[in-house]
Structure 1
């Protein structure tokens, strides 16, 4: 299932290509720059620049960028994460040259005009207010800030409206000149396109682009990502006793609850066992243990899920549920019971085999979403130089033992290692 082609241009840009017979091509730039790359006073800048990158280059204005692919029926989009920013397109094969040209132009030649900033900043502020009106989403950011307090990984990706309104053209340019560099980026492409053509087209685009080569090479300010490795799976509640709990009164008719702790980084040998255990407890299937305990047997929640995120040097594992305020304590007891079960008793051979089969099936179905698969293999190559290999992932899942599952549970799920955040 591998079948990738890779190449590195002279300017340091890495290219990863996966051929397919489909006539729709997915491609884009993924840049190793996100929320954790923001300096003090830049909170929200990565997401701000993602928006503003569409607002004008040396040769295209905002309307020309909008119409560049969409008038051909294509799709142009972007998003920002804690460790990366992605600009990508979906287009018919016959228009791929236009997509490559447009994407390269906006990523490496955007000018961030002040008159566009003055308009777009209010759009971003509306996005922030909309987000603040959704406690089921907001609690995830609040919880991550609770875990990574004082570190950029804990910052809200959107930032604060008051600060965003102070950002100017020179602030955006300062951020992108430090971060939007070819050597910090990957161009990914998935479709029925010649790899040789892709390489030549990108070489051509960069030769024509004064912006990319005018930018300083490397990291001119000597700024590195803040390292969080030393605090991997520690938190202030590890002295013993009950889980640290914070209650925030928001006047909601429903209580929103998160429970969790710091988890494993992407390279950690126990990451795959946690991946499997997380799916057993709170994965997307209706037979996940937390869904059975809280919803199916007791009718206490509409949604309960567990989530794991692995960053380059740390991670996060959490459970979320929403319920009536008077049911919070009962739900917490039921969650605790399920965590205790996996800590105290290893999975049976049958349960382990079934869990592996279920997870591998979910992965196989997810890979059928070609857009998401393209984004996934691009991100893997960007951060780790891995050519995404689903067969190897399946092998890693098959190697997980019941002992591994129990070890992870005992390492992460002890009461005094968990934090609890409640919105009500």
Structure 2
């Protein structure tokens, strides 16, 4: 069954998918991630994600976080570079409770000085935890260098010095600027009728403003490839290699995603997993992914291995990337790659909570959701020459950056 997408006069957008299940899932997706922060407010979007659970005009913090938990559900949120999402999973009989709560914390959050200062300490601990994990840190450090001097390079968590200066007015300003109907996508997956969901949204979101004052994104330009080695690893060395890639509005987006899936996706037969792990026994962790944004994207390969294996791993990765540039993959290989990609997409759609996230993010980013048939058609249309051209465009040795976390002295 295909999802239903509706845009209301207020600008609010809803994506609804009926799925027979005792559990329902809903997400409020705001186009309000970390790249929309002002220069002196790095970390504000993530800080807000924490603080919206600290109470509303009619609930204190404990009542807020207990509202879904006490019926066996889960309430949570996340912040990304281009979106902020409040979401809940719950028994379907409590759908009204979930939609009312998400609406309340979106429209009526209250930020007391005491709670704001307390939450800063929680985030400081979160930052410490992240700094203590080279595996987590290397990805953010790589993006920081990749998008150096641009908002896309800012760490979503922010830095302690900047967070210390954020206050109630900053939080209220961000809510005022970005939490409005025209900037919101509601994604619902579950066994509750569309009419019921629409009626609930009309009731609970009526007080949300229709417009705000969100800033236009500042497109990224000026990428400069880099090669860096830092002594930041504990027991295992870490490597990230990558570079620029198409944006999510680029017609080559699907082909790029399939290319990266072939190179280092989750399957054990991914090119780099076979080369580095199975054949040469150099690494336990090998993965690759493609991250598209509105104006630009990037690809990256990660390897976790012993320090003595870093140089050989880099050479093998470069060898595989050169092979992709020099010769198109065979017709038989292309058929298998497409079949695998379609199968993995099917598996990803088999989990209702994952469906809720992907539908919400897709509608927020593109303003539409492709059908399975349309997605399969776009995959079928990918040629070996297109994959080769993408590798030649984005994976030339001179355009590839790398960051190594080697063992501390």
TM bin (shorter chain): over 0.9
Aligned length: 406
Paired residue for 1:218? 212
Paired residue for 2:53? 54
Decide which of 318, 335, 355 is 1:373's aligned counterpart: 355
Q: What is the RMSD computed on CA atoms of the aligned residues?
A: 1.4
C-alpha distance in 2 between matches for 1:88 and 1:251: 35
C-alpha distance in 1 between matches for 2:321 and 2:113: 52
Q: 2:134–2:233: 8 Å Cα contact kept in structure 1?
A: no
Query: How big is each residue's C-alpha offset from its partner over 1:228-267, in whole Å with a ceiling of 9 and x where there is no partner?
Result: 2xx2xx6324xxxxxx311112253321111110111011
C-alpha distance in 1 between matches for 2:198 and 2:3: 17
Report the 3-state secondary structure (helix = DSSP H, G, I; strand = E; otherwise coil) of the residue aligned with 2:102: helix
TM-score (norm 1): 0.93
Paired residue for 1:351? 333
Q: 1:235–1:417: 8 Å Cα contact kept in structure 2?
A: no
Q: 1:5–1:195: 8 Å Cα contact kept in structure 2?
A: no
Paired residue for 2:303? 321
Q: 2:179–2:212: 8 Å Cα contact kept in structure 1?
A: no
Deviation of residue 388 (structure 1)? 4.0
Paired residue for 1:406? 388
Q: Which runs of 5+ in 2 are unaligned?
A: none
Q: 2:140–2:155: 8 Å Cα contact kept in structure 1?
A: yes
C-alpha distance in 2 between matches for 1:334 and 1:25: 45
Paired residue for 1:227? 219
Deviation of residue 7 (structure 1)? 3.8
Distance 1:235 1:291, change over 3 A: same
Report the 3-state secondary structure (helix = DSSP H, G, I; strand = E; otherwise coil) of the residue aligned with 1:128: helix
C-alpha distance in 1 between matches for 2:94 and 2:154: 38
Q: Please say if 1:247 is aligned against 2:229.
A: yes
Residues 262-301 of structure 1: pairs in structure 2 closer than 5 A:
262-301=244-283
C-alpha distance in 2 between matches for 1:110 and 1:3: 31
Decide which of 241, 260, 278 is 1:259's aligned counterpart: 241
C-alpha distance in 1 between matches for 2:119 and 2:382: 48
Paired residue for 1:205? 204
C-alpha distance in 1 between matches for 2:151 and 2:371: 31
Q: 1:34–1:80: 8 Å Cα contact kept in structure 2?
A: yes
Distance 1:408 1:5, change over 3 A: closer
Query: How big is each residue's C-alpha offset from its partner over 1:142-164, in whole Å with a ceiling of 9 and x where there is no partner?
Result: 11111111111110000112221
Deviation of residue 273 (structure 1)? 1.5
Paired residue for 2:224? 236
Paired residue for 2:98? 99
C-alpha distance in 2 between matches for 1:204 and 1:181: 15
Q: 1:4–1:387: 8 Å Cα contact kept in structure 2?
A: no
Q: Which runs of 5+ in 1 are unaligned?
A: 238-243
C-alpha distance in 2 between matches for 1:401 and 1:115: 58
Ranges of 4+ aligned residues in structure 1 off by more than 3 Å: none
Report the 3-state secondary structure (helix = DSSP H, G, I; strand = E; otherwise coil) of the residue aligned with 1:120: helix
Distance 1:179 1:323, change over 3 A: same
Q: 2:254–2:378: 8 Å Cα contact kept in structure 1?
A: yes
Greater mean alpha carbon deviation, residues 133-142 or residues 387-396: 387-396
